[in-house]
Amino acid sequence: MAFSQLGLAADILRAVEEKGYTSPTPVQQQAIPPILQGGDLLAGAQTGTGKTAGFTLPLLHRLSLNPPANGKRPVRALILVPTRELAAQVEESVVVYGKYLPLRSVVIFGGVKINPQIDKLRRGVDILVATPGRLLDHMSQKTVDLSQVEILVLDEADRMLDMGFIRDIRRILAVLPKQRQNLLFSATFSDDIRRLAEGLLHQPTMIEVARRNTASETVAQVVHPVDRQRKGALLAHLISSQDWRQVLVFTRTKHGANRLAQQLEKDGITAAAIHGNKSQGARTRALADFKSGEVRVLVATDIAARGLDISQLPHVVNFELPNVAEDYVHRIGRTGRAGNEGEAMSLVCVDEHKLLRDIERVIKRELPKVVIPGFEPDPSIQAEPIPNGRGGQRPAGRQGKPGGNGANPSGKRSQGKPPSRGQRPAGRGGAGRSRAPQSKG
């Protein structure tokens, strides 16, 4: 099938062709027609399959049928995403595919000054891409009007639940028009996502391109057993000996990301860390340097890395396995995108054996184990509890609800206490919630 067969406007097809795309991906083939017809949609597809274009293309088409009149530009489409990086990526797609349409888009997120965003909103905007926290800031200051939204998109909805944004989302839903088109996109169809969809969507079309919690077949996966204290040395050895030029590395915590990036720099390997405590400017610079090749290693936490789209990224390394098994699929999905091949390596110590078993159960396969000569694990070392990232300890492999999301639709978290009003846990900076004109990120 060609894009020209989907019924999209000529100006949109022109922009798609200029990007070099001729055939839609499976998720685009299945999602675009029902969206064009105006119905609600519940769509699940593994990361890297083209979900963003799956909703931006038909959204642009529907809005272009009724262009703004008399210079007035109310917000007609609202796209909610969990992180700053994903917000910027989605709005970039809107701009690229809508370049020949008389539509205007704006992206808003925290970690940057709010006044320039206010100025853009006042000039009028057709399509608004936002993180929940910063959107609530604008709503409280009455700098955004959502009373004429025709299309609502929840992108990476599973991550928004995991980050505890269900109550923020409900506050936003409460001010939207009752009659609207709702599109819910998610990397996984967890049970929590299905419950959220039941209360949001009206007779939706349901599509699921990949099996639940499956990893891309274009990603070669391997586990390297190693002692916890030798992980850094093994990572530096792999990067140097195999001359890796672009590597995305995952850690569990922000402090761990900083420490690893600093250690790699001492080893002569250019590295940068990206996480919720970094300012938006620092995160943007780190990502740009990584994409350009000035930085060989980008060390990231799960929250900061969700939604990163790095063209032809060859290597992903799990320096530490995620506490939630489903996050493993999202992590390694940063490579092997759009049909390209990629490698995903996990450095696993004795503390993480339970986490590894959980991951293998989720992906329904046993991962090959390869011991690197010179880095053989010491069998006398005993397992230790894994820090949970909130100042405490958790047994290795302990997780939240079966769906893998750290929160449920009621807004209650599986672990920890909810933040007090106006506050965010430090690790959630990626969503950009800010109560002041400028967030510290």
Express each pLDDT in 161-183 by its tens digit.
878 888 899 999 999 999 999 99
Alpha helices in 297-427 (DSSP H): 302-305, 326-332, 353-363
Express each pLDDT in 6-39 by its tens digit.
999 999 999 999 988 888 988 899 999 999 999 9
What amino acid is encoded at 321 in this protein?
L
Looking up tokens 């701009």, which residue turns up? Answer: 95
Q: So what's the pLDDT on residue 407?
A: 34
Q: So what's the pLDDT on residue 337?
A: 57
Neighbours of 288 (CB within 10 A): 12
What is the spatial distance between Cα 216 and Cα 220, in angstroms, rounded to a whole number? 9
- Residue among 159, 331, 340 nearest 250 (CA): 331
Given a cut of 70, the residues of the chain with pLDDT beneath it are 45-48, 70-71, 210-218, 304-309, 311, 336-340, 388-441
Q: CB neighbours of 391 closer than 8 A, spacing ≥ 6?
A: none
- Determine which helix (DSSP H) or strand (DSSP E) holds 195, and give its type and residue range: helix 191-200
Q: So what's the pLDDT on residue 306?
A: 62
Mean pLDDT of the chain: 83
Give the strand pairing for 393-394 and 386-387: antiparallel
Q: Are 366 and 230 a contacting pair, CB within 8 Å?
A: no
Q: Are 3 and 56 a contacting pair, CB within 8 Å?
A: no
Residue 105: strand pairing partners: 127
- Residue among 405, 210, 248, 429 nearest 324 (CA): 405
Q: 3-class secondary structure for 184-246?
A: EEECCCCHHHHHHHHHHCCCCEEEECCCCCCCCCCEEEEEEECCHHHHHHHHHHHHHHCCCCC
Instruction: Decide: helix, strand or coil at residue 437.
Output: coil
What is the spatial distance between Cα 91 and Cα 103, in angstroms, rounded to a whole number? 12
By the 10 Å C-beta count (0-12 exposed, 13-18 middle, 19+ buried), 143 is classed as: middle
Instruction: Decide: helix, strand or coil at residue 368.
Output: coil
Q: So what's the pLDDT on residue 273?
A: 93
Q: Are 127 and 94 a contacting pair, CB within 8 Å?
A: yes
What is the spatial distance between Cα 254 and Cα 303, in angstroms, rounded to a whole number? 10
Express each pLDDT in 65-122 by its tens digit.
987 776 678 999 999 999 888 898 899 999 999 999 999 999 999 988 999 999 999 9
Q: So what's the pLDDT on residue 412?
A: 35
Q: In what order do the strands lie in the sheet with 181-186?
A: 105-108, 127-130, 77-80, 151-154, 181-186, 41-44, 205-208
The tokens for 107 are: 């992206």
What amino acid is encoded at 98 in this protein?
G
For the chain, list the domains and their CATH numbers.
Answer: 3-208 (3.40.50.300), 219-394 (3.40.50.300)
Residue 324: strand pairing partners: none
The tokens for 121 are: 């909103």
Q: Are 326 and 301 a contacting pair, CB within 8 Å?
A: no
Q: Structure pTM?
A: 0.64
The tokens for 308 are: 């990163």
